[in-house]
Structure 1
């Protein structure tokens, strides 16, 4: 969403390009002959719905401080969830408030927290992070819910539509979040589709804890019921069946040399 790979040739393409312009973490996308009206129309269409997930939206407005990670908004009756932190923007804030605000901000791990404090203040949301990801430098010591141990956990309201899963490896306290109504699994930096490899990958070169532990966490995900893999980095993946999903997980385990001992 934050890249333009070809010049737009239609109004719909141009709208997407303008959305990429405001979402680019390094402000590297520029446009000639732009008018404020079409830019406003493009940003008013954000957050953008995710294919196959009627209650999930991509926020855009990625931040260099979170390495360009994608943030999502989950709509739910028990209170919306902001998945990781987008770059703070009054425009995006207005749009999120129009969609019901956010009761919770779930942070997958310490890399993707950027403007969490600004969002928490503006939305009055409860921040959730694993306690091993908390740092004074990032201000996450102020997060209201700091999960301990290996989980799994429900949201503080005790609802059964969300499960938070401990998936260590990329970092010690990396988490995934399963939104059961849409069968959507938010994976942070734990797992994503690689365009170059054409398969799921753990992005081993960015591992900050243990690749072997990360693969063990992926092995456990084979028992999780999801059809949509929504990462912080990399491509989103939509599966037709759980069989296809588990096959893809098995493929990444094999490709990464995972051996059960």
Structure 2
């Protein structure tokens, strides 16, 4: 029996949903409590315990997916169980791994709250996005970039490419992200980077 808590509180109003997997790889999905709503960044697997946690905020619940591959999650079940409204960038509408139907395919970045900025970062997929929580200078990076256990950026230029990935676009998106003010990075895959995420990304890009 798994006695791991459903969530971990990372910062004020920011939580990670524990024990999440993309196939067999452990990944990160997040919940951001806003003034009048709850925003999920990528969607956790469904369970009654997670549903109870999400609904405990007693606010409308929305989700935005970082890229089409995250559509392999239990999005459809969440839509049916709690009426979850899911947003995805329109450029990922034909992504081969998008296994659910988001409620909103957007091209203009959605406005969830004053402290939340959605940033278009194509590359890992045509519709990849990041989310910046301005108050805490926290960047939810999806699979645009991520760290290792040393806090360094993993060299994604060495990853195998597919017909829905574009390395040049991904590099351009990382350069674009350096124009924003962030410190901590919460990715979908691999390790969280605490405190010096922008510095680490800048170091990585200098060598590219």
Q: TM-score, normalised by structure 1?
A: 0.70
Q: Give the root-mean-square deviation of aligned CA atoms.
A: 2.3
SS at 1:191 equivalent: coil
**Residues 97-133 of structure 1 deviation map (CA, whole Å, 9 limit, x = unaligned):** 1133552111001111211111122222211101121
Q: Which residue of 1 aligns with 2:22?
A: 64
- Retained in 1: the 8 A contact 2:68–2:92? yes
Gaps of 5+ in 1: 1-17, 23-38
Partner deviation per Cα, 1:214-257 (whole Å, 9 max, x = no partner): 11111111111222110001111122xxxx544322211123x2
Return the index of the structure with the highest Cα Rg: 1
Partner of 1:213: 169
Partner in structure 1 of residue 90 of structure 2:
131
Counterpart among 230, 234, 237 of residue 190 in structure 2: 234
Superposition pairs of residues 104-115 of structure 1, within 5 angstroms: 104-113=62-71, 114-115=73-74
Q: Distance in 2 between matches of 1:164 and 1:181?
A: 14
Q: 1:224: which partner in 2?
A: 180
Q: Does the 8 Å CA contact 2:43/2:70 hold for their aligned counterparts?
A: yes
1:62–1:70: 8 Å Cα contact kept in structure 2? yes
SS at match of 1:171: coil
Matched residue SS, 1:194: coil
Conserved? CA contact 2:139–2:184, under 8 Å = yes
Write out the 4+ residue segments of structure 1 that deviate beyond 4 Å after TM superposition.
none
Kindly report which structure 2 residues correspond to 1:16-95, keeping only aligned pairs within 5 A, or say none: 22=2, 39=3, 42-43=4-5, 46-50=6-10, 53-65=11-23, 67-95=25-53
Cα distance in structure 2, aligned partners of 1:68 and 1:48: 15
Select the residue among 142, 164, 168 that pairs with 2:122. 168
Q: Tell me the SS of whatever aligns to 2:202.
A: helix
CA-to-partner distance for each residue in 1:175-228, whole Å, 9 max, x for gaps?
Answer: 001122222111111111123x75113533154422121111111111112221
Structure 2: gaps spanning 5 or more residues: none
1:116 to 75, 79, 101: 75
Greater fraction of residues in strand: 2
Distance 1:137 1:212 in 2: 22
TM-score if structure 2 supplies the norm length?
0.86
1:249 to 181, 185, 201: 201
Structure 2 distance, partners of 1:206, 1:187, is 19
Q: 1:190 aligns with which of 144, 148, 171?
A: 144
Between the two proteins, the alignment pairs up a number of residues equal to 203
* Partner Cα distance (2:14, 2:118) in 1: 16
Match of 2:103 in 1: 144
